[in-house]
Structure 1
């Protein structure tokens, strides 16, 4: 087993090395990796809603051209909204040129330009699109998102909440307020505020706000009472900092109550910590996910440790395997846990995706280099063969029941019986 784990890490390192070499060449799909978000906010008009849409352009998705001692990039950005089965209702376009003196700034993911557009529309179903055109490379990206709002009449409504960040300018909320697009960082959490809006009658109403950790344990709960004579409300609720800093991922449940009626929604409060992959929401669960790569003594040490020791031991383990210790990112950890997340979303069975046979192979070896699929509905035989040419190996999976629960035809090692 130790030898197998050794080869798995060698394979992971070689995979990351190959990815790095590919990144040195400009990826044609890079232009599509811009940020695109929208948020719904209650409006003073009872039959309409405000849609706040944002397109963020990181420098690294653009092709900067060296001009004398400077680097320049030109692009065109567009945000628009249309009826799902109808015509366009709104559109906003920008033509922009970016200039920097530093090459590293021209390829930075952390430096970005945000564009904002607000659309006021009746309650209904819409498609919101964000388009980006690089004027130098002529590469373009187009992304769509759906907004579905029930036309069914209701005396009270509660729209999707979001956390507030702060950036100089006007972004559709109070001055310098902007929706938070990324996770909170532990060291920078200050008075985290969740923005809540909805439609109500002109009478008193209550908002119940509850914060739950990853194991659904209640961390904090409070009821807020208010009243309006405008038929709608905008409310900012501050989550205590000590609550926000507990763990990496929490769910904030919000319940609106008025005159015996109620509406419920929730939002995730995600926190990033230095040295921990953004794909991780709970350290104890992350340790469980590592069963495929831990030696028996490492597994025993990590899994049996006390909760207050687990994070330290977890960080020590991954620090020893960091391919670039001089940088804040641990690419090996990021790759491993992104595969865990992918497995949970894409592989199904009678257990979590990462515990399935397909999940295990994907986590250990990554996406197959070639895929053969055989489906015969008559004989009810469904199979896949995953090829990994770099290690001269393939894996056969068979779904004997036809429900998508693919099992390895030849067992591969498992850390334990699940």
Structure 2
């Protein structure tokens, strides 16, 4: 079993530098678009604020004198009923003197745009292209500006403030909280607002507060305690009464730790997803069982201690091994989800442990047998056969791989 343990470490470390490097050259450029909708001081209009975040490591930087330089081609198209009514196209040059910033996973380039638009739902399409590699990416979303239509006053979207967790040390024990921001316009005076927090659709907290509103558009902030909230994603709902009707806005937010991989969104789930490390003896049975059974701060400490011990570069802010493992979990979900989440399927298990196969042989139309697929790992001298016993695309291993299961 020690052999498997060391072999898995080598396979994961290889993935950090090799397995997904080739795929990145072929995949669309990765970026994200955040948008906020706010009321306008112009009747029948709203404001759309957009932030495009492009990870530096997903684009190519070229040495130019003392600097490293990358170039992006960006296009924003805003459509109403299929007709373009607004947008921009421009070239963006990004420069840095630090090579480390060109490859760091926590370095982003942010591009911001604001548009004043009629109070109608809009389709927004964003294209980003890396000029040096010609890799391109596309994002599309609906901007619901119709929420500013035909009401006595206007309530914009609610979203978490882009700032660290606050600690109120004046209370015993100290209270940790984050702030949420919403915008409003068209109303003067004191109004009551109610907030609710949901965990997987179940309400776990509720509170209310009053705000002295001003008629002109502006932002307002309110605090929400995060004590007793675990490392996972929640939904906050904000509501108030407009024209004798309850108006609601909602946003998702996540409690995070700075040293945690951005690919992990739920600590309980992340611990369960570590079962392949147990099956390969990369984590011992008693340590894994203790982590599974733990809750709250105890589970957090056990999780952090394990990955800290297995950090291949402890003097850097990123744990490449943890990032690689959960990156494979994420890719398994994208590639193999069906009756189960992709990571729980047999193909997801093999993909997570061994990475992308060197060759894939498909037999989906053989009349004499059920559909099956063979994955080849030439460097490991291994092959795995998956058969679709049901005919619904649920490919299962034809033979067990490990003596240990979990």
Same fold (TM over 0.5): yes
Match of residue 358 from structure 1: 347
Write the distance in 1 (CA, Å) between the matches of 2:147 and 2:384: 50
The one of 112, 117, 132 aligned to 1:121 = 117
1:267 aligns with 2:251: yes
Query: What TM-score, normalized to structure 2?
Result: 0.76
CA contact (8 A) 1:71 1:106 kept: no
Count of residues in Structure 1 that have an aligned counterpart in Structure 2: 389
Asked if 1 retains the 8 angstrom alpha-carbon contact of 2:32 and 2:52, the reply is yes
Q: Distance in 1 between matches of 2:147 and 2:158?
A: 21
Deviations 1:329-352 (A, max 9, x none): 111111112222333454335444
State the secondary structure of the residue aligned to 2:48: strand
Aligned equivalents of 1:414 and 1:46: distance in 2?
68
Quote the offset at 1:3 in angstroms.
4.4
Give the Cα separation in 2 of the matches to 1:368 and 1:388: 5
Question: Once structures 1 and 2 are overlaid, which stretch shifts more, 95-104 or 317-326?
Answer: 95-104
Q: In 2, Cα distance between the equivalents of 1:382 and 1:103?
A: 48
Deviation at 1:51, TM superposition (A): 1.9
Separation of aligned partners in 1, 2:221 and 2:183: 11
Gaps of 5+ in 2: 168-174, 279-283
| Higher-RCO chain (CA-CA 8 Å, sequence separation at least 6) | 2
Is this contact kept in 2: 1:39–1:52, CA < 8 A? yes
CA contact (8 A) 1:71 1:101 kept: yes
Q: 1:387 aligns with which of 362, 368, 376?
A: 376
Structure 2 CA distance for aligned equivalents of residues 344 and 408 of structure 1:
17
Query: CA offset at residue 410 of structure 1?
Result: 1.9
Which of 81, 98, 101 is equivalent to 2:77?
Answer: 81
Q: Displacement of 1:368 after TM fit?
A: 2.7
Q: Normalising by structure 1, what TM-score?
A: 0.74
Whole-Å separation in 2 of the counterparts to 1:412 and 1:260: 63
1:253 and 2:253 equivalent?
A: no
- Structure 1 residues 83 and 416 mapped into 2: Cα distance closer, same or farther (>3 Å)? same
Q: RMSD of the alignment, in Å? A: 4.3
CA distance in 1, matches of 2:367, 2:194: 54
Alpha-carbon distance in 1 for matches of 2:307, 2:338 = 29
How far has the Cα of 1:222 moved from its partner? Answer: 1.3
Alignment of 1:95-110 (within 5 A): 95=91, 97-105=93-101, 107-108=103-104, 110=106
Alignment check: 8 A CA contact 1:72 1:100 kept: yes
Change (3 A) 1:314 1:199: same
Q: Are the equivalent residues in 2 in contact too, given 1:84–1:125 (CA < 8 A)?
A: yes
Aligned-pair CA distance for 1:80:
1.8
Instruction: Note the C-alpha offset of 1:254.
Output: 0.8
Q: Deviation of residue 290 (structure 1)? A: 1.4
SS of residue in 2 equivalent to 1:395: strand
Corresponding residue number in structure 2 for 1:223: 208
Q: Verify: 1:143 aligned to 2:141, yes or no.
A: no
Cα distance change of structure 1 residues 27 and 344 upon mapping to structure 2, 3 Å threshold: closer
> Structure 1 unaligned runs (5+)?
167-183
| Residues 37-76 of structure 1 aligned to structure 2 (within 5 Å) | 37-45=34-42, 47-57=44-54, 59-60=56-57, 61-67=59-65, 70-71=66-67, 73=69, 75-76=71-72
Distance 1:379 1:207 in 2: 66
CA shift in 2, pair 1:150/1:389, >3 Å: farther
1:80–1:91 Cα contact (<8 Å) kept: yes
- Where 1:272 maps in the other structure, the secondary structure is coil
